[in-house]
Amino acid sequence: MKTRILGLLAAVSLVATLVVGWRLPPTEEQAGYARLIAVHPALAWTAYIAFGVMALGSLLYLLPATRSRKWDRLAGASGEVGVVFTALMLVTGSIWGRPTWGTWWVWDARLTLSALMLALLFGYVALRKVDMDVDRRAIISAVTGVAAVLVVPINHFAVTWWRTLHQGRSAATLAPSSNLDGSYLRAMFLGMVAMMLVYAWLLIHRIRLERLEEENRGADLAVALAERRAEAHDGAVSGAPDGGAVVGS
Amino acid sequence: MAPAIRMHRAVVLLGRFPALAGADLLVEAGEVVHLSGPNGAGKSTLLRACAGLVPVVEGEAEILGHDLRRHPRAARRRVGLLGHATFLYDDLTVEDNVLFALRAAGAGTAAVEAALVRLGLSGRLRGVAAGRLSAGQRRRVALAVLEARRPELWLLDEPHAGIDAAGRDLVDELVLEAAAAGATVVIASHELERAAALTPRMLVVSGGSVTPAASPGTLANTAAAGA
Amino acid sequence: MLRDALLVGAKDLRVEVRSRVALNQVAPFAVLVLVLFAFALDPDRGLLASAAPGLYWIAVTFSALLAIQRSFAVEAADGARDGLRLSGLDPAGIFLGKAAAIAGQLLVLEVLLGVGVVVLYGTELRGGTVLALTCLAATAGLAAAGTLAGVLAAGLRVRETLLPLLLVPVAAPVVLAATKAWEAALDGQSDQGWPWLRLLGAFAAVYVAFGVVAFGPLLEEA
């Protein structure tokens, strides 16, 4: 029931963000697009947190001392939700970049890193979608999650050097911190709170769904075990011609 | 001395299918045991579980005193499995395959020559790529590895299948020799008479569990179902 | 661990010597990719020569994907992967052995592609030390991350399509850093290549270390 309150809070703050964001005054440079400050930084912030939680859950599952199914569920759920936030961050960034830079995409360091992060998340989620044994999937995706986060610092240096060695253009122009007045800041923080609540709500529900699926599987197992044992009984007692021999898989 | 195999209510899942549904099995060191049972009963899975290739997810399982659920690797160097797959590299020659398998198992290679001769692989076949061998010849290579390695626990899955008459007799000889040298041998086979000549102890695997063949009646049923 | 690595590495190289898959299939493919780039970028305008380092490393990455697929296809045939697990070989040794064998094949391929770039794109090789060290460090990183991705995908129905999706995002900084290091060396400014080389070295160290640790659980429990 607590998640219902969380869901309600998430919905209310999301609507509030949209209303407050929509009513922000346009700026000279960016016109109405400046309103995106209410959602874009918040999406980015949440996307990075989702990636971090995915990596942390993977690491905790991988370490023998802390290995537990719950870390796998946490990592998997955060990875899936993270894909959505990362994709939305790139989309809103592009919409913002179009009037600001004149193109949908620039090879800015931060944009490139975000795109690479989305690719890493795609790989992670694609792996989890493959049909396989739950424990096997857990260990494989834990290794994938940790391997994905290990590359982040290296990516950071590589991409930053790559872009800054050539030109000074950076995403700093996206957030005009110098002339950012109070109403923009407030909208940005409200957006962050809203996105974090939405993230938490989605995460909890995804984890719950996964747990239910696993419990369901456990219940199936009890039935399957009973059926399997019954085969032995049929085969030995009745001696039916097809008794016990029909199980071939 | 620890039993060679001790399983208590062991469950093994293949996907979501319980191939072993709570199997109990006790095999003392030095015993020769014959596993019988219809196709799909769980014989191969039982042997693969004993080799630590498929995880036991519930119940207890010990191989040569090692807990399979905690240390599946510990028992492996002491176990030899002849499975449906022969674990051969198609591009390597017969001799290279045998040498690699022995070195990988940490075993000496001194007995390789004798084993190749014994299994009829010492002539032209020695230098042939494993991918060009017939199924029966591949079984012979896998047997040569076991014979050269002489593990403490032999797990033989249908060792008589797909091999010629002389080869079958050879399999029986190898089993008896291994047993005489103190090794434990578990044979899954539909060849009831052949297996009966090797050992009096037969167990029936059915529906993912193991029962001793108590009466001739059970035996006949198993034979009917297995045919 | 090193004994097992040598054993597995030698076995994989022996399989390659007997089957010649890398030599007869992967290498011609890699050269063909170089030819395709010439179609995409007008050869008369000097674009090819200036883009040569990047094209070279993309060709290497594609070839690495094939070499990794092959390395694990060998183990999948007739339960050989089970054979490896059954043998009791140290998983870290298996990882190092397989990665070393892949790296060895890639290095030979890189020499061949280097000749290809010189002949087809008219590139003049300069800064040999940085070029060679870049090859070593980038190859070690690609082979380590690739072996890890290879065993992750091994045994899954979708392994052929999943492997590139898993490996390419992780290998992206290797392609970038190796390209930049080569550009610097070919421009006669080898000193600017060193930061990139250090980055490649760090990548290789991180993924070799992680592979050594993670291969055990992957082989045992997956």
Whether B225 shows a pLDDT value over 60: the answer reads no
Distance CA A133, CA B16 (A): 8
Residue A80 confidence (pLDDT): 96
Q: How many CB atoms lie within 10 A of CB A58?
A: 29
Q: What is the pTM of this model?
A: 0.88
Residue C130 confidence (pLDDT): 95
| Phi, psi of A240, rounded to the nearest 5 degrees | -60, 145
DSSP string for residues in B19-78: EEEEEEEEE-TT-EEEEE--TTSSHHHHHHHHTTSS---EEEEEETTEETTT-TTTTGGG
- Test C173 with A143 for CB contact under 8 angstroms: no
Q: Are A138 and A69 in contact (CB under 8 A)?
A: yes
Whether B169 shows a pLDDT value over 70: the answer reads yes
List subunits contacting chain C, requiring 3 or more Cβ pairs under 8 Å.
A, B
Whether B49 shows a pLDDT value over 50: the answer reads yes
pLDDT digits (tens, 9 = 90+) for C173-202: 999 999 999 999 999 998 999 999 999 999
Does residue A234 lie within any of the structural domains? Answer: yes
Domain count for chain A: 1
Distance CA A7, CA A45 (A): 20
Does residue A181 lie within any of the structural domains? Answer: yes
Q: Are B111 and B174 in contact (CB under 8 A)?
A: no
DSSP string for residues in A24-57: SPPBTTTBGGGGGGGTHHHHHHHHHHHHHHHHHH
- Test B76 with C78 for CB contact under 8 angstroms: no
Does residue A248 lie within any of the structural domains? Answer: no
User: What mean pLDDT do residues A64-84 have?
Assistant: 95
> What is Dmax (Cα atoms) for chain B?
49
User: What mean pLDDT do residues C68-84 have?
Assistant: 87
Contacts of B208 in chain A (CB under 8 A): 228-229, 231-232
Q: Is the model more confident about A149 or about B83?
A: A149
Q: Which two tokens stand for residue C135?
A: 């090859």
Residue A233 confidence (pLDDT): 67
Residue A247 confidence (pLDDT): 33
Whether B106 contacts chain C with CB within 8 A: yes
Interface test with C, best of B73, B88, B109, B146 (most C CBs within 10 A): B73
Assigned CATH for B5-87+153-226: 3.40.50.300
Whether B154 shows a pLDDT value over 60: the answer reads yes
Whether A167 shows a pLDDT value over 50: the answer reads no
User: What mean pLDDT do residues B182-191 have?
Assistant: 93
pLDDT digits (tens, 9 = 90+) for C33-64: 999 999 998 887 788 888 999 999 999 999 99
User: What mean pLDDT do residues B13-35 have?
Assistant: 90
- Test B89 with C89 for CB contact under 8 angstroms: no
pLDDT digits (tens, 9 = 90+) for A102-130: 888 888 888 889 999 999 999 999 999 99
**HEC string of chain C?**
CHHHHHHHHHHHHHHHHHHCHHHHHHHHHHHHHHHHHHHHCCHHHCHHHHHHHHHHHHHHHHHHHHHHHHHHHHHHHHHHHHHHHHHCCCHHHHHHHHHHHHHHHHHHHHHHHHHHHHHHHCCCCCCHHHHHHHHHHHHHHHHHHHHHHHHHHCCCCCHHHHHHHHHHHHHHHHHHHHHHHHHHHHCCCHHHHHHHHHHHHHHHHHHHHHHHHHHHHHHHHC
Q: Please tell me which of the candidates B18, B221, B225 has its beta carbon nearest to residue A228.
A: B18
Whether A23 contacts chain B with CB within 8 A: no
Q: Are A12 and A193 in contact (CB under 8 A)?
A: no
Domain count for chain C: 1
- Test B88 with C221 for CB contact under 8 angstroms: no
**Rounded-to-10 torsion of CA B158, B164, B168, B171:** -80
User: What mean pLDDT do residues C91-104 have?
Assistant: 96
Residue B152 confidence (pLDDT): 94
3-state secondary structure of A156: helix
Whether A242 shows a pLDDT value over 60: the answer reads no
Residue B28 confidence (pLDDT): 93
3-state secondary structure of B191: coil
Residue A132 confidence (pLDDT): 83
- Test C11 with B87 for CB contact under 8 angstroms: no
Q: Which of A39-43, A210-214, B222-226 has the lowest mean pLDDT?
A: B222-226
Average predicted confidence (pLDDT) for chain B: 88
Instruction: Grade residue A28 by pLDDT with cuts at 50, 70 and 90.
Output: low
- Test C86 with B129 for CB contact under 8 angstroms: no
Q: Which of A47-61, B17-31, B60-74 has the lowest mean pLDDT?
A: B60-74
Does residue A9 lie within any of the structural domains? Answer: yes
| Phi, psi of B130, rounded to the nearest 5 degrees | -60, -30
User: What mean pLDDT do residues B197-216 have?
Assistant: 81
Residue A111 confidence (pLDDT): 86
CA distances from A146 to A53, C28, C158, C199 (A): 11, 35, 21, 19
Residue A128 sits in a domain whose CATH number is 1.20.120
Whether C84 contacts chain B with CB within 8 A: yes
Average predicted confidence (pLDDT) for chain C: 92
- Spatial CB neighbours of C217, under 8 Å, sequence gap ≥ 6: A62, A139, A143
Whether B124 contacts chain A with CB within 8 A: no
Whether C214 contacts chain A with CB within 8 A: yes
Distance CA B150, CA B44 (A): 21
Which residues are registered as beta bridge partners of B81?
B155
Instruction: Grade residue C158 by pLDDT with cuts at 50, 70 and 90.
Output: confident
Whether B89 contacts chain C with CB within 8 A: yes
Percent of chain B with pLDDT over 90: 59
Which residues are registered as beta bridge partners of B67?
B62
Confidence check on the interface: ipTM exceeds 0.85, yes or no: yes
Q: Which residue of A has its CA nearest to C144?
A: A147
Whether B147 shows a pLDDT value over 80: the answer reads yes
Percent of chain C with pLDDT over 70: 99
Q: Which two tokens stand for residue C139?
A: 């190859």
List the alpha helices (DSSP H) in chain B: 43-50, 94-104, 112-118, 135-149, 165-180, 192-198, 216-226
Q: Which two tokens stand for residue C37?
A: 């780039």
Q: Which two tokens stand for residue A152?
A: 């982040």
Residues of the domain holding A32: 2-238
pLDDT digits (tens, 9 = 90+) for C194-220: 999 999 999 999 999 999 999 988 887
> Is residue B173 classed exposed, middle or buried when 0-12, 13-18 and 19+ CB atoms within 10 A define those classes?
exposed
- Test C173 with A154 for CB contact under 8 angstroms: yes
- Test C206 with A154 for CB contact under 8 angstroms: yes
